[in-house]
Amino acid sequence: MKKVITRIGFFTLILSLFASVQPVLADGGVIGTPPEKPDPTNPSLQYSGCGGQIVPEYNPEFEQRVIDLVNQERTSRGLIPLKRSAGLTNAARYQAADMSQDNYFSHNTMDREGGELIIRCSPWERIAHYYSGANDENAAAGYYSPEAVMNGWMNSGAHRANILNPDTRAIGVGFFQGEDYLPYWIQDFGTQIDSPITPTLGLLPENLVFMYSIPDQKLYPPHKYLTPANVGSSDQLSWQVTKSGSFFSVSPENGTTPTQIRVTPDNFNHNQANTYYGSATISVTDPSSVAGSPHNVQIKLMVLNASITQVFLPGVHK
């Protein structure tokens, strides 16, 4: 099975271009050779130039599955999920179909003339026909499922960095498998989303738990932090905190994202076993009607008549 994979950042093209059609892996090494060159006079060749055409969807389920997998990787690391962009999707579909049609593997968009490949434009020029604000592109060929191509990209540091870029807001995925049955994949990323941006309060836990040991006369941990964030746009949010329960304090009681809120249990009986319950509610005051606001965090303190032992297993290395 032939598999090739490349990655491009906004300023650095890491795929080297050769006169032959043999693809080169950005991280070093030839991965595979595409099938024989197509007949340049074949009337089935329909995509030429620097994009701008709308390629019909080939397998939208595969494309959406890749987006879902990207967002699983991002949200598991506290990054915002990406919005699907129609413009980036069309740019990615064009490149995937054009590579299959003209039998090449590159971020640059190319045509065949007399059997030779001619560079028509850079990826950014191509994407600009469909979308403004592109910042990254990943490309791959020879992977026959969304899971396989995502595994390939995530195991390559440069491609993984594109997928997990914290500045990215939008994504488009193109998939095409032509007559030679070699599947081509493109991920295009951007900083602008197609629909209006909606500020959203997020990155806040549902609960915080503290423990206090009477024999140790020690609080575990001594404090914790809440970090209100706008996970829907780049706008700054103003917030305030109201609390229920007198056994802890919060500081500050108001601020703007991404200022942290320190939560400290500091007003409880240090010599009597007990469990205290309370809550801290973070509400956005500006702008109004923000999704995710207000957010309630349950606070729990367990005062224990027992020592607390902290144990770590040694690290292992195969």
User: Which tens digit of pLDDT belongs to each residue from 152-192?
Assistant: 999 988 899 999 999 999 999 999 988 767 899 999 999 98
Query: How confident is the prediction for the chain on average, in pLDDT?
Result: 82
In angstroms, rounded to a whole number, what is the distance separating the alpha carbons of residues 69 and 175? 15
Q: How confident is the model at residue 4, as a pLDDT?
A: 56
Q: How confident is the model at residue 182, as a pLDDT?
A: 86
Total residues found in the chain within this entry:
318
Q: How confident is the model at residue 230, as a pLDDT?
A: 83
Segments in the chain below pLDDT 50 = 1-2, 7-44, 318
Residue 183 pairs in a beta bridge with 177
Q: How confident is the model at residue 15, as a pLDDT?
A: 33
Q: How confident is the model at residue 211, as a pLDDT?
A: 94
Q: How confident is the model at residue 69, as a pLDDT?
A: 95
Exposure pattern of 270-284 as b/e (b: 16+ CB <10 Å)? Answer: eeeeeebebbbebbb
How far is residue 183 from each of residues 14, 93, 100, measured CA to CA in Å? Answer: 21, 12, 8
